[in-house]
Amino acid sequence: MSEAPAVSISDNRPLHRYEARLDGALAGFCEYEPGDGVVTFTHTVVQPEFEGQGVGSALALRVLDDARSRGLKVVPACRFIAAYIARHPQYADLVA
């Protein structure tokens, strides 16, 4: 049984989005608007060919953990991020 490829995620600050890559290919991204002590997540996209491979969940986990590590509150304007927080209540304290 082959192991699923690891998702690599980086913050592309000039574009205000976290980018997820699988084998170097852009698999998805989560756009955000930075603010004073808060970050608003506005839109999350997973490319159709990468759906079902954990890309969206990996993105949500990373963006929320990054916000926490930076001491930021989050505004989950993106439905995907809002749903992720609803399913993972350990992130509810981050919501502004």
Supply the pTM of this predicted model. 0.91
pLDDT tens track for 43-59 = 999 999 999 999 999 99
Euclidean distance between CA atoms 47 and 1, whole angstroms? 25
Q: How far apart are CA 39 and CA 55, in angstroms?
A: 21
Report the pLDDT value the prediction gives residue 2, as an integer from 0 to 100.
45
pLDDT at 1 (0 to 100): 43
Report DSSP state, residue 24.
T
Domain 8-94 has CATH 3.30.565.10: no
Does the pLDDT at position 62 exceed 50?
yes
Domain spans, the chain: 8-94
Whether the Cβ atoms of residue 50 and residue 22 lie closer than 8 Å to each other: yes
Interacting residues of 69 by C-beta distance below 8 A, sequence separation 6+: none
